[in-house]
Amino acid sequence: MRLVAAWLLLVVFLQVTGVRAESSAAPPLQFEYSSAATLSGVSGDFVQVSARVTNVGGQALSDVTVYLSMFNTVDKTPVDLEDWSAQKAINFQGLPAGQSQAIDLSIHLVNPGEYSLVLVGYVPSADTPTISRATFLHVEARKNLNPGNILVVALGTPLALAIVLRIAPARRRVAQ
């Protein structure tokens, strides 16, 4: 009986003081992509991820942050977006109820592979973020006939050597 009374007292205390005993729900955000469900490109290119975030709740949200998260689906590892020169987050100071905001993120494709992208919406008043459906990204390796700009050296050195060897004997003949 004492345990039940203590529990009830704790619940009443938490209600009166405003401390939440349970986690709040996820923010009422909804994502809708305007870009394709599968994106592709070649290393070195840029791709655009376009979407709309909508406040589907009944109240305005303040300080909404939307950020991109990438995952390598082959290696099963997260991707560090600093290497990809991606805009990591977009912040909205307010998003009124029922209103949408466009999101455009440009991603510089660095490494070839298969990736999964999601948008994550965070509002400080909610304990759980909202996560979009996944968009897939296929990056092909760039075919380069001159990797490391070595072609000039590889072709130029023998050519320069041939010219020097051809001119040197000719100078000796003229000097005699």
Domains in the chain: boundaries: 23-144
Torsion of CA 15, 17, 22, 26, to 10 degrees: 110
pTM of the model: 0.67
CB-based burial of residue 162 (10 Å sphere; 0-12 exposed, 13-18 middle, 19+ buried)?
exposed
Sign of the torsion formed by the C-alpha atoms of 89, 90, 96 and 100: negative
Cα(176)–Cα(168) distance, rounded to whole angstroms?
A: 13
Residue whose C-alpha is closest to residue 39's, from 129, 108, 125: 108
Q: Please answer whether residues 135 and 38 qualify as being in contact, where contact means their C-beta atoms are separated by less than 8 angstroms.
A: yes
CATH T-level topology, domain 23-144: Immunoglobulin-like (2.60.40)
pLDDT, average across residues 61-66? 91
Is a pLDDT exceeding 80 seen at residue 162? no
When pLDDT is cut at 50, 70 and 90, the band that residue 3 belongs to is very low
User: pLDDT digit string (tens) for 84-125?
Assistant: 877 778 998 989 999 999 999 999 999 999 999 999 999 988
CB-based burial of residue 132 (10 Å sphere; 0-12 exposed, 13-18 middle, 19+ buried)?
buried
Q: Please answer whether residues 60 and 97 qualify as being in contact, where contact means their C-beta atoms are separated by less than 8 angstroms.
A: yes
Cα(94)–Cα(64) distance, rounded to whole angstroms?
A: 7
